Amino acid sequence: MDLARYFFYYLIFPGFLFTAVVGLLTTWVDRKVTARVHWRVGPPWYQPFADTVKLLGKEIIVPAQAQKTGFLLMPVIGLAAATLASTILWVVNLAPESSFIGDSIVVLYILTIPAVSMIIGASASGNPLGILGSSREMKLLFAYELPLVICLLTTIYKAGSFSFQRILELQQAGGVMLGSFSGVIAFIVTIMCIQAKLTFIPFDIPEAETELAGGTHLEYSGAALAVVRLNMAIMFFVLPIFLITMFWGGISFVGWRILTSILKYVAIVVIIVLIKNTNPRVRIDQAVRFFWGPMLILSIIAMILAVLGY
Amino acid sequence: MVKKIPIGPFHPILEEPEFFELHVDGEKVVDIDITIGWSHRGIELLSESKTWDQVPFLVERVCGICSASHPYAYVLAVEDLLQVEVSKRAQYIRAIVAELERLHSHLLWTGLAGHFIGYNTVFMWCWKYREPVLDILEAVTGNRNHYATYRVGGVRRDVPQEEIPNIRKMLDELWKKNDMLTNAILDDPVIHARTKGVGVLGWDKCREYGALGPTARAGGYDVDARRDHQTDAYAELDWDVVLCQNGDVFDKAVVRQLENFEAIKIIRQCVDKLEAMGPGTEEDLVLEIGEIPPGEGLGVYEAPRGEVFHYVRSNGGNMPMRHKIRAPSFNNILTNEYSVLNYAVADAGLITAAVDPCYSCTERVGRVDTRTGERWVMSEGDLIKLSQEKTEMIRRSLRGK
């Protein structure tokens, strides 16, 4: 029976189906807020679903130079990884006792797989712009992972454990991580890293519509593109939840905390969307300098503060 | 290892087909091939089959955005041939329409530049601010684009007196918005990081490539056809030529933003003068022009992108015998050959766009036999024949598969 339960968790709730639906709704929030900032009307709520359904019905074109297996397999692997991360996060948020030792490290590790899969997929596409995009994605990955890991370590250091259960318990008992100096700094740095992880402006360098015409996504079409898009939508859903779990007391469906959980989530999404809409795209060298310079220093300061007990 | 990255012929950064092939080493551009000729339309030839009065409508279509500057330069050329001077009222109306065009063109560019560096908010806002300008153009000329205002010997329509308060109100609002936009560009640290010191085209290179318009003025190369050729009313109006020194993308943006203020100043003065004159009659608007005698004329006007040059030659008939057009983008696009070198691929798109290129204006065709050095100019019939042969060839090759 356990197997059936895990399948249910992974495929229906809180796994693939739930994550995909909420993720697509999140992309709608993104599109609507963006449109309002632009003085446009914006799409109706079902637009992301309509787009996905439409893309699923379109022909998949594989470029002649492409390495077919890698090209088509990679988005699926990315999707599987993002869904797995979401499942783990939700299960531990809803039932902290199901946490296991080191699950925060596992989630962090799984969350890099979508980026890696895009790197491999775009390299396999055989398109020069796609390959340039994939090389940029790789540089970006190296740039933001270091400050991100150090920031998450501040929380892990305070909790004294790698397990989500301990992290959540500590925040429920002694106030959220965001209540301390080190927590605030780490939170800000993590938001910037999430912006890069989602490849949103100012760090949409691997896609760069007006430079690389989509870069890593360039050659994907039809159902494969739908999977890529879904992958991004799920990441857009998972990363704020991860952030809330690590710094802001987690998500809960008990009593009035439903409301605060949703508000926390929407607040982070809106912050991300506003950053996206009030900045131009930076160059890859500027992005790397930004993450290895100010962001790394800030994250080290947060770590030192955490060690000193602030 | 040097790789080739194509920008074009069809690419999201290009509003019209054009082909830039970047030779890149990692992220650095080491060389560029520019291929023009993807949307040649043969306007010069067409123009030689239209009557003198029909040509302005045709040359408006040279460029969808410079649709006042091309007819302006053409009518100046014909008037140069005729040696006539148009009425003051017509001169003011010409200046109003041309400067409104400059406003909408510069706002359009600022928006597009924002889009190219991924700043879509700037894109949307600029284009929203541009709307009232187009509304005023519609009220004054009847069209949002392709104004059909210019005519040999004057203009086609008067500016209605009741529209003048609306124009003033729009200008006042636009002044504020443009001020806000200019400050936003001057203050944003990320815009600075992306545009300062990028795509530098200094004074000497501007001179070497014959750069024109804001592209040249950003590099401190002081050319402005409105001042240099004392075009119509501009000689008596109070306005300045905006100059910057560095020649990078940032300065190109600043020049355009500041030129918007100058354009507003010019329109305000013209509107004041028109209001003082009161409503005019048909004779005030356009001179009676009879036969066009044999001879040749030059017309030069400063379009938003730089100097537009028109040459007409008459043999005494009712059509130009020769009509030569040179749009500023022809000079400006080729400056990319120098200005993108040694910058990142990420900057290349922005640099090529920073000259505010108008690709279809630059297209031209001539044929040279490289072995014998023999030259032809292709006629309409030749081009059609070539096109049909090509289609037939493609059809045959498809049938072969």
Task: With CA atoms as reference, report the closest residue to A10 among A68, A80, A71.
Answer: A80
Residue-level pLDDT at A43: 92
Mention every residue, 6+ apart, whose C-beta is less than 8 A from residue B179.
none
Element (H, E) at A159: helix A128-159
**A113 pLDDT tier (thresholds 50, 70, 90):** very high
* Whole-angstrom distance, CA of residue A39 vs CA of residue A308: 47
Which residues does chain B have within 8 Å of residue A209's beta carbon, measured at their own beta carbons? 12, 118
| The length of chain B, given as a count of residues | 401
Residue carrying the six token digits 């541009």: B130
Q: How far away is chain B from the Cα of A210, in angstroms, using its nearest Cα?
A: 5
Q: Which of A163, A159, A206 is nearest to A180 (CA)?
A: A159
Summarised one tens digit per residue, pLDDT across range B20-56 is 888 888 778 888 888 877 778 888 888 888 999 899 9
Q: Of the candidates B115, B121, B193, which has its C-beta nearest A282's C-beta?
A: B193
| Dihedral angle of Cα A282, A287, A291, A293, to the nearest 10 degrees | -90
Q: Which amino acid is at B384?
A: I
DSSP string, B87-103: -HHHHHHHHHHHHHHHH
The one-letter amino acid at B142: G
Residue B211 in contact with residue B332, Cβ under 8 Å? yes
Show the CA angle centred on residue B253, arms to residues B249 and B259, nearest 5°: 145
pLDDT of residue A92: 85
CA A228 to centroid of chain Cα atoms: 13
pLDDT at A50 over 90: yes
pLDDT for B378 beyond 70: no
The SS3 assignment for B309 reads strand
What is the third-level CATH fold of B41-362?
Cytochrome-c3 Hydrogenase; chain B (1.10.645)
Domain count within chain A: 1
What is the distance between the terminal CA atoms of chain A, rounded to a whole angstrom?
46
- Which of B121, B193, B345 has the CB atom closest to A286's CB atom? B193
Whether the CB of A280 is below 8 Å from some CB of chain B: the reply is yes
User: Each residue of A170-198: pLDDT tens digit?
Assistant: 887 777 777 788 888 999 999 999 999 98
- Sequence-separated (6 or more) residues with CB below 8 Å from residue B112: B15, B123, B353
How many beta-carbon pairs under 8 angstroms link A with B?
82
Please list the residue range(s) of chain B that carry CATH number 1.10.645.10: 41-362
Put simply, whether the predicted model's pTM sits higher than 0.90 gets the answer no
Which domain does A164 fall in, by range? Answer: 3-307
- Enter the ipTM: 0.79
Which residues on chain B are in Cβ contact (under 8 Å) with A208?
Answer: 118, 346
- The per-residue pLDDT for range A270-281, each reduced to its tens digit, is 899 999 888 888
Residue pair A35/A42 in contact (Cβ under 8 Å)? The answer is yes
pLDDT in tens, B283-339: 788 888 888 888 889 999 998 888 899 999 888 888 888 888 888 888 888 888 888
Q: ∠ at Cα A51 (A265, B6), nearest 5°? A: 100
Task: Map tokens 């519609």 to a residue.
Answer: B138
Beta bridge partners of B367: B376
Residue length of chain A = 310
Which of helix, strand or coil describes residue A220? coil
Neighbours of A210 (CB within 10 A): 20
Instruction: Assign A12 a pLDDT band (cuts: 50, 70, 90).
Output: confident
Tell me the per-residue pLDDT of B53-83, one tens digit each, with 9 for 90 and over: 899 998 888 888 888 889 999 999 999 998 9
Contact of A36 with chain B, judged by CB distance below 8 Å, is answered with no
**Two tokens, residue A237:** 């859903």
C-alpha B191/C-alpha B188 separation (Å) is 5
How far is the alpha carbon of A305 from chain B, nearest alpha carbon, in Å? 29
Query: Which of B32, B30, B29, B7 is closest to B18 using CA atoms?
Result: B7
In chain B, whose CA is at the least distance from the CA of A274? B121
Q: Quick check: helix, strand or coil at residue B246?
A: coil
Q: Flag the least confident range among B14-28, B105-119, B165-179, B211-225.
A: B14-28
Kindly report the average pLDDT of chain B as a whole number: 85
**Dist. CA B341–CA B203, nearest whole Å:** 17
pLDDT of residue B187: 86
- The tens digit of pLDDT for each residue in A207-233 reads 877 777 777 888 888 888 999 999 999
With beta carbons less than 8 A apart as the criterion, state whether A92 and A168 touch. Answer: yes
Looking at beta carbons, which residues of chain A come within 8 Å of B253?
none
